Amino acid sequence: MAGVDFGIELLWALTLSIFITYYFQEVAARMGWVLKADLDQIIKKHIGHRFWRTFILALILLAIFFGNSVYQGGNLSGTLLGLQSLTATDQHKFLMLLLIGAMVLFFLWNERFEAIKRFLILMVFLMGVSFTITAITLGSDFINILKASLLPSLTTENTFMVIALVGTTVVPYNLFLHTSLVNRSHAQISGLKALRIDTAVSIAAGGLISMAILITAASVQADSIRSVVDLIALLEPSFGQASRFIIGFGLFAAGLTSSITAPLAAGLVTQSVLKSTPYDHKYSSRYASVAVFLIGFIIALVGSAPVEIIKFAQIANGLLLPIIASTLLVLSSKTSVMGAYANSPIQRVVGSLLVLFTLVLGGMALYKTLM
C-alpha cells in the first residue's frame, strides 16, 4: 500500500527503520547474550516497580497475541497467493492452505531452532533475489531512489503510513524473539562482535528486501494492478513465463517465513512470561504458537486478512514500540544490569533520540486518530 499510495517518497522511512531496528536488535541481542535470559525475564528481574513491570508484561502479551494473530492471517494469505501464482491456479484454496499449514506446524511443533534458522536464511535469500529482480526491472532510476531513501518527507497525509512502515519493520515481537534465540544459541555464538555482525547482515538484507517490495509497488498505477496476475503481466515483456515464478516465489517465501516467525515469537514469549507461575507448562510455547497459527488460518480461510485490520495492527505496533524501546534503553544503560557491556554515552544519546522519534510518531498517530 505504501508504494501504491505514495510512490517511492517513503523509502526514507524504511532507511530509518533499518537503523532503528539494528540499534534495538543489537541491544536486545546483547542483553540476551550477556544475561543469558529472555527479554521478558530480564524485565521481570530488573524492573522493581510492580505496577510498571505488570503493565509492560501485559502489553507484551496483548501485542503478541493480537498483533501476531492478525499478521498470521496476512502471512498465510500471502503464502497462498504465492503458491497459487506458482501453480497457475486459484482452485483448491483449502487444500493449498492445509499444505502450507502442515509445513508451518512442522517447524513450530518440533522447535528445531537451528533448522528453522537455516531454512529462513535460505528462503529470505531467494526471496531477496526475486524482489530485487522485480524492483530493478520496474523501478525508478537510481538517483531518485537514493534521494527518496535519504530525504525525509513527513506530512499529515502520510503519517499513518510512516507509522505502519516503522511498526512493520521495527516489530516489537522480533526484539523478544531475537533475545530468546540468542539466549538459546549462546554456546554457538563466538562473541559479541560476531553477534553484532550477524545482526547487521540479517537486518540490512531484510531492509533492502522491503525497499525492493516498495519500489516494485510504486512502479505500478493504483488502477492498473488489482491482483498478483496483473503484476505478473507487467513482468512478462521482460521475463516471459519466468515472471510467474519470480513474483510467485517471492510472495511464497515472504509469507512462509513470516508464517513461521510470528507464531514462534508468540510461543517463546508466552512460555517465558508464564515461567515459574501456576500456569507454567512444558508445552506452553507450542500451545501458544499453534493458537496464533490457528487464528491466522481461520482469517486466511474466510478470506484474505482485511487490509484495515492489518494496518491497525501495524499502527498498534508503532504505538507499543516507544514503551518497549524505552525499557530496553533504560535497562541496557544500567551498569548494575549489564556491567561492562552497558551502553556507552554515545549509545545512550543515539538511543534517546530514536526513542524520542518513536514517541513523536506515536503522538502524531493518536492526535490524527482523535481529531
The total of other beta-carbon atoms located within 10 Å of residue 53's CB is 17
Cα–Cα separations (whole angstroms), residue 327 to 28, 51, 331: 11, 14, 6
Q: Domain ranges in the chain?
A: 2-370
Q: What's the pLDDT score for residue 343?
A: 92
Please spell the DSSP secondary structure of 116-174, one letter per residue: HHHHHHHHHHHHHHHHHHHHHHHS--HHHHHHHHHS----TTTHHHHHHHHHHHS-HHH
Cα–Cα distance, 269 to 266 (Å, whole number): 5
Which pLDDT tens digit goes with each residue over 67-122?
778 778 878 887 888 888 777 776 778 888 888 888 888 877 776 666 666 776 77
**Are the CB atoms for 207 and 169 separated by under 8 Å?**
yes
Cα–Cα distance, 30 to 179 (Å, whole number): 8
Please spell the DSSP secondary structure of 17-73, one letter per residue: HHHHHHHHHHHHHHHHHHH-S-HHHHHHHH---HHHHHHHHHHHHHIIIIIHHHHHH
Q: What's the pLDDT score for residue 353?
A: 92
- Regarding pTM above 0.85, the answer is no
Cα–Cα separations (whole angstroms), residue 58 to 270, 336, 349: 11, 25, 28
Which whole number is the average pLDDT over 261-277?
Answer: 76
Which pLDDT tens digit goes with each residue over 163-199?
767 766 766 667 777 777 777 776 677 677 888 888 8
CATH of domain 2-370: 1.20.1740.10
Q: What's the pLDDT score for residue 59?
A: 74
pLDDT category at 310 given cuts 50, 70, 90 is: low
Q: List the one residue out of 47, 24, 10 whose CA is nearest residue 350.
A: 24
- R_g of the chain, CA atoms, integer Å: 20
